[in-house]
């Protein structure tokens, strides 16, 4: 950021980038606490001088429906993009409290978004191998190279996701369902294995924020868990639950149009998404609810300090009493137990 007085600072760009990226996880789900900036006011401490934000407050509408007045200086650092967009929409960018940073912030935002898009579009190869952007291009690469690597990757992904799709009779869509786009993401692993991931365009929907959130364990909980394991001589094992979201029913009424990945006989037909497919905003919360129900059935209870750390009384063969622990991070589970094998096999 270059300021009118001639100095150049790098931190502002980092803050803007963090603001953009921190709202979207690896599955494309958005987690935004701020809903909207609805008003502003000056108090008696306002200083109408350049480079000063003192005395100006913004009225914030949060996702839970509550409102509060926050200082501009705090909002500028915590939510720089949203604050700058509010100033521009209210034509405040020329006022002393805004004119020295709003235009630069919005310009930096566009540069970051453009750079990400350009990097994705220009990334045509990985490890020297051509990387497709569409299913049709993937099939063309196989035809040109005389292989079926991408065919197999797509078929494997669609086979794993088969439970998530439902074709209706006479291709009729039930009332109340919303159409969303879906697409395939392609990657090449370090061992040159081709991988395809079918992703739903959850950004087209706007579900209730209450059903869009999913908690994860904290670093502090993991550190304490390792200490407990060491003191009680417990085994520590971690598991990754494959296709975890597909275990939960979809909480959104959505459907899409079948593409070539579904087979030539189904292209163009509407298909209902009945499981929490990757990309849906409620996918994380739906899976969390499903896993919670299963852990309760296994007689685990959440701890008071961290609700995604689960515990259950147990005892060793020598009579030593302790507690088994499960730490949940989306579809990764850390197990602390004297004998973790029964838990790995989903047995009590």
Q: Domain residues of the chain, as ranges?
A: 11-122, 130-344
Residue bearing tokens 């059903």 = 211
Mean pLDDT on 324-341: 91
Q: What is the pLDDT of residue 4?
A: 57
Q: Which of 277, 116, 117, 261 is nearest to 199 (CA)?
A: 277
CATH number of 11-122: 2.40.50.40
Give residue-wise pLDDT tens across range 139-161: 999 999 999 999 999 999 999 99
Mean pLDDT on 30-38: 69
Give residue-wise pLDDT tens across range 81-116: 888 888 888 888 787 777 778 888 888 877 766 666
Q: Report the predicted TM-score, pTM, of the whole model to 2 decimal places.
A: 0.60
Between CA 326 and CA 328 the distance in angstroms is 6
Residue 253 dihedral angles phi and psi, to the nearest 5°: -90, 95
Tokens read off for 298: 């296994």
Q: What is the pLDDT of residue 157?
A: 93
**Would you call 119 helix, strand, or coil by DSSP?**
helix
- Cβ-Cβ contacts under 8 Å for 157 (sequence gap 6 or more): 184, 195, 196, 197, 198, 261
């Amino acid at each position: 950021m270059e300021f009118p007085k001639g100095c150049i600072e790098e931190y502002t760009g980092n803050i803007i980038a963090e603001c953009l990226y921190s709202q979207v996880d690896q599955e494309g789900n958005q987690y935004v606490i701020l809903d909207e900036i609805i008003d502003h006011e000056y108090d008696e401490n306002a200083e109408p001088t350049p480079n000063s934000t003192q005395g100006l407050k913004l009225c914030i509408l949060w996702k839970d429906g509550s409102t509060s007045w926050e200082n501009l200086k705090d909002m500028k650092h915590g939510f720089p993009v949203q604050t700058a967009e509010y100033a521009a929409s209210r034509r405040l960018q020329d006022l002393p409290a805004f004119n020295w940073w709003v235009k630069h912030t919005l310009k930096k935002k566009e540069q970051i978004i453009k750079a990400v898009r350009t990097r994705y579009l220009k990334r045509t190869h990985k490890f020297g191998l051509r990387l497709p952007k569409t299913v049709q291009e993937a099939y063309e690469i196989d035809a040109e190279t005389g292989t079926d690597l991408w065919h197999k990757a797509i078929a494997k992904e669609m086979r794993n996701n088969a439970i998530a799709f439902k074709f209706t009779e006479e291709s009729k869509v039930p009332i109340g369902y919303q159409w969303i786009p879906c697409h395939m993401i392609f990657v090449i692993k370090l061992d040159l294995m081709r991988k395809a991931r079918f992703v739903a365009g959850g950004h087209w929907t706007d579900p209730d924020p209450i059903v869009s959130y999913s908690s994860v364990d904290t670093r502090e909980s993991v550190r304490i868990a390792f200490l407990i394991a060491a003191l009680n001589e417990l085994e520590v094992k971690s598991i990754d639950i494959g296709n975890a979201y597909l275990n939960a029913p979809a909480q959104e009424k959505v459907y899409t149009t079948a593409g070539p990945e579904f087979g030539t006989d189904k292209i163009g037909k509407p298909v209902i998404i009945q499981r929490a497919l990757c990309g849906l905003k409620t996918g994380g919360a739906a899976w969390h609810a499903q896993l919670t129900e299963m852990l309760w059935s296994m007689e685990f209870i959440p701890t008071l300090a961290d609700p995604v750390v689960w515990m259950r009384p147990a005892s060793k063969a020598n009579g030593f009493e302790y507690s088994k622990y499960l730490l949940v991070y989306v579809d990764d589970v850390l197990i602390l137990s004297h004998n973790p094998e029964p838990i790995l096999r989903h047995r009590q």
